[in-house]
Structure 1
Amino acid sequence: MVDAARLKWSWGEVAGYGDQVPLFFYSTLFLEHPETREMFPISMAAQRDRLVTALGRIVSDVDNVDELVPFLQQLGRDHRKFAVLDGHYPAVGSALLATLEHFLGGDWTPDLAADWEAAYGIVAQVMSEAANDSAKESPAWWEAEVVAHERRTIDLAVLRVAPHERLAYVPGQSLTIEHPNRPRMWRQYSPANAPREDGTIDFHVRMADAGQVSPALVELTQPGDTLCIGPPMGTGLCLPDTPPRHVLMLAGGTGLAPLKAIAEQIAADYDGRQVYLYWGARHHRDLYDLPALRDFAGRHDWFHIVPSVAEGEQTQTVHKGNPVGIALRQARWLECDVFVCGPPGMVATSVSALAHAGVPERQIHREEFNGTGEEAPA
């Protein structure tokens, strides 16, 4: 029986050493198992936080099976695109135990070592089984041709890609993209459209500060290029399987993308609900998709678009302020499903304001992402 409290305590002690922990772990892993180095990007700068974040999540939920198992299964499925094989798990486990022993020193006891070995064995088994099951149903990634690339602002582009094989996803989910100039680095993006007959997918890409993948997608990508697309992940933003309620959508920046896809999903099988999209940007020029949204609203009288800007003048058609503040001034939304997507600060502020206004937590839908969204194997 694994002692969950002892695992949490020991990880808290080790995590206190900060960047030294992933540095020691990866140095040990690559020295003892050099064949694993090729699974990681050339630059490991962004990789350090990913290891600590993933381990912290696993340890914090070690005694909460209902939360931990789905997380590990998704982690296992997603690691297929890094060419992680069953044989790699022992190497990672050996490096992890060596890291823990190094930083815990005299506190590293045989009992604690047995706890960590057992816990890691369970983690590896769940991830490996999920990956193997997934391999029976779908490829590890899809190749997709860029068929359109439109620069909307200096730092934002809208891409349309055509996967060589059909890629099934649900509006609100995210996919990961690898650019050929950024090998073994993946970044999460949500499709901006519901699945189409021709299989094409739109992505809204803004260059992220210190990002690697997004600048390549915005500045280097051209029609005819081939990208790799990882499998769909996440269900937090998907339409719930409940009787239909009216919908409030709160979007910040390119957080518009999955909400636009959900609106198209509703349009394809309209069930009578009203949809109100409050979309905020910093400046008027950043409302990059407003003509398309207004065209959609003109064709669907149940869809209502309320754009806003944080800076710049209010006009007859564009409000001044943030989406959640404007929405809560206009209605109560207690009987609606609410979807929130945007920068982490915007999401946190919106969820807090909605809860304070009395919107039930079960009706607030959002997706949790870690860090910048850029990935390599943890």
Structure 2
Amino acid sequence: MNTPSEDYHALLARHDAMRLRRRILAPEGSTNRAARPAAPHTYDGAADQSLIGEFLPLVGPLEELIADLYLALFDRHPYLRSLFPESMAFQQAHLASAFRYLIGNLHRVDAVAERFAQLGRDHRKLGVRPAHFAAFEGALVEALRARAGARWTVPLEDAWLRMLRLAVSSMVRGEDDAIAEPSSWEATVTAHEIRTPGLAVLRVRPHQPYPFRAGQYASVETPLREQAWRPYYLARAPLQDDELEFHVRAGRAGGVSDALVHGTRVGDTLRLGNPRGMLTLSDEALSSGILLIASGTGWAPMKALLQEIDAAPSPRPQVRLLLETGTPEEFRPAAGMYDTAYLEAFQRGRPWLTVLPTHPAVHAAGGALRVLNEVLAARPGPSEAPHAFLALAPEASAAEPARTVAAGLADAGVPAAQVHQDTSEVVDVTGASASTTGTGSVSAWR
């Protein structure tokens, strides 16, 4: 007997199949574009940005506005509660982050449209449909009016609605453009190994081909935490056996990472979202020097990148791997903490790779900067600068290590275009709660 979740996802798959069939059978050039939201390119968001920002204290703080929004949403539409995880804390934090991104970038309409079109493609796996956005809009208006009281105005409400509809129209367009793509993949856990207390390496085999590139990440859902998706880097380059590898550090009790580390077993089934990420190699990077900077389970994408570089034709670029462990207790010289044996074996016979471990007594940003000062002391010009790839776990002593290291690279003469890091979504390299960089989790707008 199917569970309600299985029935719901089967219904969504049938709905998508019907939409795809209509698109395929439609006469060429006669796609029903009238049913699609208009492109937002004629919208000038600068005026709305100014108005919303000026009166934001009326409805803030954003975290409280979001809490009121969800109360209104579930009161109006109780059936929607089943689309969300049991705990709403992570959800609310990332929706607040999404609003911050919108308000801060509303003057950059094209960038916002592109960002939220990507979110729309990702949200297909969550079961979000246009009707859900209409319910969300109504709940937002109710929350805004209640918080602002008598000082609320029609022009202010119109500005909020135009901003929201820019995001929603972009998401719907992204969803529609991706209708021929799978919304998610099921995968079976083939190996589960505890490497250190609270850290596991998982191997999974997708039931269908899973197209991805080294350096990308995938959102993962476990049946132990239905409707809660968390992104993790893929720790293998695409290989012939089709298996994927994830490195997961357990965080708070009851979270997805905790369930993957402590509650998942061989034979269990997980769901994967579409691969995403900015840490992929370009031909330009492969023809120049490469600097890989990682800490914690940020080693995972670097492992995949090294495998891709190793498979590239000669001559291979010179690669320097700056790898820092999470805590002094876990430190191993020239190693990736829990993956020591692999890195030591990989390094042998590969003269193009130099491993630069940082000192265990310093946090990720400080340790990385110390070594960077030595590695890039010559302050190379743009033509000599390496392509840098960053995956740094946040530390208590450095809330934004990736930004700190990126600033250090800029000071050393590395152009911003050659610094690659994921900022639109935060990949869980610690197992703790993710930060609020960029638009936040792909589940932010469910």
- TM-score under structure 2 normalisation? 0.77
Q: 2: CA distance between counterparts of 1:349 and 1:62?
A: 26
CA distance in 2, matches of 1:210, 1:122: 37
RMSD: 2.2
2 CA distance for matches of 1:201 and 1:15? 44
Structure richer in strand, relative to its length: 1
CA distance in 2, matches of 1:35, 1:323: 48
Give SS of 1:148's match: strand
Looking at structure 2, the residues matched to 188 and 7 of structure 1 have their Cα atoms a distance apart, in angstroms, of 34
Distance 1:375 1:50 in 2: 9
Paired position in structure 1 for 2:185: 142
Partner of 1:238: 280
Secondary structure of the residue aligned to 1:322 is helix
Could you tell me how far 1:285 is from its partner in structure 2? 3.1
Amino acid at match of 1:256: W
The residue correspondences of 1:1-378 to structure 2 (distance < 5 A) are 3-9=47-53, 12-14=56-58, 16-137=60-181, 139-209=182-252, 212-235=255-278, 237-242=279-284, 244-270=287-313, 271-281=315-325, 282-283=327-328, 285-286=330-331, 287-311=337-361, 322-332=367-377, 334=380, 335-344=385-394, 345-368=400-423, 369-370=425-426, 372=434, 376-378=443-445
Kindly state the Cα deviation for residue 309 of structure 1 after the two structures are TM-superposed: 4.2
In structure 1, stretches of 5+ residues that fail to align are 313-320
Q: Secondary structure at the match of 2:410?
A: helix
Give the drift of 1:6.
Answer: 3.9
For the residue of structure 2 that corresponds to 1:48, the secondary structure is helix
Task: Indicate how the Cα distance of structure 1 residues 10 and 48 shifts in structure 2: closer, same or farther if over 3 A, else same.
Answer: farther
Deviations 1:306-346 (A, max 9, x none): 2334239xxxxxxxx82331242244473211111111333
The separation in 2 between residues aligned to 1:210 and 1:363, in whole angstroms, is 38
C-alpha separation in 2, matches of 1:121 and 1:148: 44
Q: Which moved more, 1:352-361 or 1:219-228?
A: 352-361
**One-letter amino acid matched to 2:373:** L
Report the CA distance between 1:355 and its aligned residue: 2.1
- Cα distance, 1:79 vs. partner? 1.3
Shift of the 76–336 alpha-carbon distance from structure 1 to 2, 3 Å rule, reads same
Residues 232 and 253 (structure 1 numbering): CA distance in 2 closer, same or farther, change over 3 Å? same
CA distance in 1, matches of 2:205, 2:184: 13
Contact (CA 8 Å) 1:8, 1:60: kept in 2 or not?
no
Q: 1 CA distance for matches of 2:50 and 2:150?
A: 15
Alpha carbons 2:376, 2:412 under 8 Å: kept:
no
User: C-alpha displacement at 1:358, in angstroms?
Assistant: 2.6
Matched residues in 1 for 2:143 and 2:172: separation?
22
Q: Are 1:14 and 1:21, in contact at CA under 8 Å, matched by a contact in 2?
A: no
Name the SS of the counterpart of 1:136 in structure 2: coil
Shift of 1:250: 0.9
- Distance of 1:206 and 1:299 partners within structure 2: 31
Distance 2:281 2:56 in 1: 37
- What amino acid does structure 2 have at the position aligned with 1:242? E
- Residue aligning to 2:17: none
Number of aligned residues? 368
User: Could you tell me how far apart the structure 2 residues matched to 1:211 and 1:276 are?
Assistant: 38
C-alpha displacement at 1:11, in angstroms? Answer: 6.3
Identity, in percent, stands at: 34
Contact 1:10 1:104 in 2 (8 A): no
Give 1:268 shift: 1.5
How far 1:257 sits from its partner (Å)? 0.8
Q: 1:73 to 1:11 in 2, by over 3 A?
A: farther
Distance 1:377 1:358, change over 3 A: closer
* Displacement of 1:10: 5.4
Which amino acid is 2:105 matched to? D
Q: Which amino acid aligns with 1:338?
A: A
Q: Deviations over 1:124-148 (max 9, x none)?
A: 21101111221212x2111101111
Residue deviations 1:41-85 (CA, integer Å, cap 9, x gap): 112122221121111111211110232122101111111121011
Counterpart residue type for residue 220 of structure 1:
G
Native 8 Å contact 1:252 1:279 kept in 2: yes
Alpha-carbon distance in 2 for matches of 1:363, 1:119: 32
Q: Distance in 2 between matches of 1:339 and 1:173?
A: 12
1:183 deviates by 0.9
Aligned to 1:315: none
Higher alpha-carbon deviation: 98-107 or 49-58: 98-107
Q: 1:18 to 1:118 in 2, by over 3 A?
A: closer
TM-score (norm 1): 0.90
Note the alpha carbon deviations across 1:354-373, whole angstroms, 9 max, x for none: 22223222221111144517
Q: Distance in 1 between matches of 2:132 and 2:420?
A: 36
In the aligned structure 2, how far is the partner of 1:366 from the partner of 1:15? 33
